[in-house]
C-alpha cells in the first residue's frame, strides 16, 4: 500500500489537499481536505442586510456574481420582493455571459493539459500558418527552457492525446479562449459596471441603466461568444469526448456514488407565486431536481428513464464530524437556516475546513453532470446510449452542452432588454424597507453546482447567515456515519499504475472545476486581513 498526497492541487481556485491510498495500482481510499477556513458568515453577523450581496460576492474572484444573486434572492424572500422584468433579464444576461466564459476557460486553460501531450506539437507537419506559428512558439519556449504554464506537468499516460494535429489545434484554441474571456468581461461590464464583483446586483433587482447603444454593443459581443462556442468549444469537446477520450468515458473513471442534486437557474418568467422569489422567478431554462442512485457506481445507462424528484429544501443538512468546527453538544447535523460557524482547530478526527452537506442524509454530486442528468440533455442521453458513463468526460460534455443552450437563449433576453430600453428607461429595481424580523433563502445553480444562501434578520440586522456552496457539496469530508464526500467517492477505483505520476487523481478532481475559495475563508475580525493558520 502506498499513500499519495497532492497538496496543493493546482489549476483550481483555492487550496485543496487530496490524499489517496493505492493498492496494486488502484485507489482504495481517499481524503479531501480544504486547508483554509471560511468565516464570511461570522463577518456578516449584525450587519445591515443590504451589505450581504456585496460581501458574499467577495467569496472569490471567479464565481463572484452568483453569490451576489443567491444572496439577493435570499433577502428578497425575506423582504417579500418580486423582481421587475428588466431586473430579472439583466441578472440573467450577466449570469449567462459569466457561465459561457467560465466553462470554456475551465476546459482549455484548467483541464485540457491533463489530456494533451503538449510536446506532440513539435511533430506537427501541417501547413496551417496559424498552427505553424503555435508550433514555432512552443518549440522556441522549450529551447529556452521557459515552458510555463504548460510545464511542469504529469507525464502522459495511455489516455493522453498525442496526435500532433489535434494537440496543436487545441493549444491554438487555448490561446483563443483567453482572448474571448477578455471580450466577455468587457461585455458583462455593460450590466455589472466592473468585473469581477458586480456593483449593480442589489436586493430588489439590478441598478444598471445601460443605454440602447450599450445593449447593442453587448449583443454584438454576445454573438462573438456564440460563434466561438458553436464553432470551436462545443466541436472540440464533442470531438475529443467521443473520440480519443471515449475509452476513458466508458470506464466511468471519476464517477461518484450516483446521487445528484441541481437547483433551478436562469428564470425565463417572473415569480408565479410567492415561493418563486427564492429562485428569482419561474420557468427556468434549467430545472432543479434530485436523482438518487439506482445501481452500482458508474453503471447508469438509461438517462431518459431515470426518475427525477423535486428538491425538498428542508432535507438539506451540514455535518461537521470531520471538520474543524463545533456544533452544540449532541448535534450531528443542522439545516443551514439554523447553521453554526464555530471553529475548533484542535478537534480530534477532523481533517478539513469543509463541512459535509447532505440531502436526505446522502452526499450529492452537484455541477454540470447533475444539471445534465436532471434535465436529461438529449446529447447526454445519446452519449450514454453509445457506452459513455458518469465521470470526468461526462462532466466536460455537460459543460459544453450547457454553454451552447445559454448562448442560444441569451439572445432573446438581450433583444427583450433592447426592446424595453427603446421604449424608455430600464426599471431594474423594486425596493422595500428592511423588515424588523424575517427569514429567507435563495438558491441558484452556479457553474460549479448547487448554491444556497440562508439569512435570518432580527431587529433589522443579520442575526445568522449561512451558505452551502457547490464545492462544499463536492469536496466535503466524511460525515457522522463515515460516508465519504463526492470527491472522495470519485477517486475510489481509479487506476494509478505509477504512484510517482498520479495523473488520474488530478484529472478526476479538476473535472469538478473546484472553487475552494468559495468553500473556505477566514477573515481576522480585528484587522480585516486574511489570517494564515499553519497546521502541524
List residues forming the annotated binding site for Mg(2+).
41, 467, 521
The three-class DSSP label of residue 199 is: coil
Using CA of residue 298, residue 357, residue 77, residue 205, what is the dihedral sign? negative
Determine how many CB atoms are found less than 10 A away from the CB of residue 530.
11
List binding-site positions for Fe cation.
Answer: 63, 518
Q: Is the peptide bond before 196 cis (omega within 30 degrees of 0)?
A: yes
CA distances for 188 relative to 72, 90, 467, angstroms = 19, 10, 25
Nearest to 177 by CA among 397, 481, 400: 400
* Residues contacting residue 367 through CB under 8 Å, at least 6 positions apart: 395, 447, 448, 449, 470, 474, 512, 513
- Specify the DSSP element, H or E, that contains 93: helix 85-105
Beta strands (DSSP E) in 292-331 are 316-319
The answer to whether 221 touches 186, Cβ cutoff 8 Å, is yes
* Residues contacting residue 36 through CB under 8 Å, at least 6 positions apart: 14, 15, 353, 516, 517, 520, 521, 522, 533
Q: How far apart are CA 468 and CA 460, in angstroms?
A: 23
| DSSP code at position 367 | S
Q: How far apart are CA 291 and CA 520, in angstroms?
A: 27
Q: How far apart are CA 131 and CA 489, in angstroms?
A: 40
Cα angle: 407, vertex 66, 448; to 5 degrees: 75
The residues pairing with 365 across neighbouring beta strands, listed in sequence order, are: 260
| DSSP code at position 376 | T
Q: How far apart are CA 105 and CA 177, in angstroms?
A: 6
Q: How far apart are CA 206 and CA 522, in angstroms?
A: 29
The answer to whether 5 touches 16, Cβ cutoff 8 Å, is no
Q: How far apart are CA 385 and CA 401, in angstroms?
A: 17
Nearest to 460 by CA among 27, 48, 157, 2: 48
List binding-site positions for Ni(2+).
Answer: 60, 63, 515
DSSP-derived pairing of the beta strands 449-458 and 356-359: unpaired
List binding-site positions.
Answer: 41, 60, 63, 467, 515, 518, 521
Question: Alpha helix (H) ranges present in 229-270?
Answer: 234-241, 246-250
Our measurement of the distance from residue 53's CA atom to the centroid of its chain's CA atoms, rounded to an integer in Å, reads 18
The three-class DSSP label of residue 325 is: strand
- Specify the DSSP element, H or E, that contains 260: strand 260-262
Amino acid at each position: 500500500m502506498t499513500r499519495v498526497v497532492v497538496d496543493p492541487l493546482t489549476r483550481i481556485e483555492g487550496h485543496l489537499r487530496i490524499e489517496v491510498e493505492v493498492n496494486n495500482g488502484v485507489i482504495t481510499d481517499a481524503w479531501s481536505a480544504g486547508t483554509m477556513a471560511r468565516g464570511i458568515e461570522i463577518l456578516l453577523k449584525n450587519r445591515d442586510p443590504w451589505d450581504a450581496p456585496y460581501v458574499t460576492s467577495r467569496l472569490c474572484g471567479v464565481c463572484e456574481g452568483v453569490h451576489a444573486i443567491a444572496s439577493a434572492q435570499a433577502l428578497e424572500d425575506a423582504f417579500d420582493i418580486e423582481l421587475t422584468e428588466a431586473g430579472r433579464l439583466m441578472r440573467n444576461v450577466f449570469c449567462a455571459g459569466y457561465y459561457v466564459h467560465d466553462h470554456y476557460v475551465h476546459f482549455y486553460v484548467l483541464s485540457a493539459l491533463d489530456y494533451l501531450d503538449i510536446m506532440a506539437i513539435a511533430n506537427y507537419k501541417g501547413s496551417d500558418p496559424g498552427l505553424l506559428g503555435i508550433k514555432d512558439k512552443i518549440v522556441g519556449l522549450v529551447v529556452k527552457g521557459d515552458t510555463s504554464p504548460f510545464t511542469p506537468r504529469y507525464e502522459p499516460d495511455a489516455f493522453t492525446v498525442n496526435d500532433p494535429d489535434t494537440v496543436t489545434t487545441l493549444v491554438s484554441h487555448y490561446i483563443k479562449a483567453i482572448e474571448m474571456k477578455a471580450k466577455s468581461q468587457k461585455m458583462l461590464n455593460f450590466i455589472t459596471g466592473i468585473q469581477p464583483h458586480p456593483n449593480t446586483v442589489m436586493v430588489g433587482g439590478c441598478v444598471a441603466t445601460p443605454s440602447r447603444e450599450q445593449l447593442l454593443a453587448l449583443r454584438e459581443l454576445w454573438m462573438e461568444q456564440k460563434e466561438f462556442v458553436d464553432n470551436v468549444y462545443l466541436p472540440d469537446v464533442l470531438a475529443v469526448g467521443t473520440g480519443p477520450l471515449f475509452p476513458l468515458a466508458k470506464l466511468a473513471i471519476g464517477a461518484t456514488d450516483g446521487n445528484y442534486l441541481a437547483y433551478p437557474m436562469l428564470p425565463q418568467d417572473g415569480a408565479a407565486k410567492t415561493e418563486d422569489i427564492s429562485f428569482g422567478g419561474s420557468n427556468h431554462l434549467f430545472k432543479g431536481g434530485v436523482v438518487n442512485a439506482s445501481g452500482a457506481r458508474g453503471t447508469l445507462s438509461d438517462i431518459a428513464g431515470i426518475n427525477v424528484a423535486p428538491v425538498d429544501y428542508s432535507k438539506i443538512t451540514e455535518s461537521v464530524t470531520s471538520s474543524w468546527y463545533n456544533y452544540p453538544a449532541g448535534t450531528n447535523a443542522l439545516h443551514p437556516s439554523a447553521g453554526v460557524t464555530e471553529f475548533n482547530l484542535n478537534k480530534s478526527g477532523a481533517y478539513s475546513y469543509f463541512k459535509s452537506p447532505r440531502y436526505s442524509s446522502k452526499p450529492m454530486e452537484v455541477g454540470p453532470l447533475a444539471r445534465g442528468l436532471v434535465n436529461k440533455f438529449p446529447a447526454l442521453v445519446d452519449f450514454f446510449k453509445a457506452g459513455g458513463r458518469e465521470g470526468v468526460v461526462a462532466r466536460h460534455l455537460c459543460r459544453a452542452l450547457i454553454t451552447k443552450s445559454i448562448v442560444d437563449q441569451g439572445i432573446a433576453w438581450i433583444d427583450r432588454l433592447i426592446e424595453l430600453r427603446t421604449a424608455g428607461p430600464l426599471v431594474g429595481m423594486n425596493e422595500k424597507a428592511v423588515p424588523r424580523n424575517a427569514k429567507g433563502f435563495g438558491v441558484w445553480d452556479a457553474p460549479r453546482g448547487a448554491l444556497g444562501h440562508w439569512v435570518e434578520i432580527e431587529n433589522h440586522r443579520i442575526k445568522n447567515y449561512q451558505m452551502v456552496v457547490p464545492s462544499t457539496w463536492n469536496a466535503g469530508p466524511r460525515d457522522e456515519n463515515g460516508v465519504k464526500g463526492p470527491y472522495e467517492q470519485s477517486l475510489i477505483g481509479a487506476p494509478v499504475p505509477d504512484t510517482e505520476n498520479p495523473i488520474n487523481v488530478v484529472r478526476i478532481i479538476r473535472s469538478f472545476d473546484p472553487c475552494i475559495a468559495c468553500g473556505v475563508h477566514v477573515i481576522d475580525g480585528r484587522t480585516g486581513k486574511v489570517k494564515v493558520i499553519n497546521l502541524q
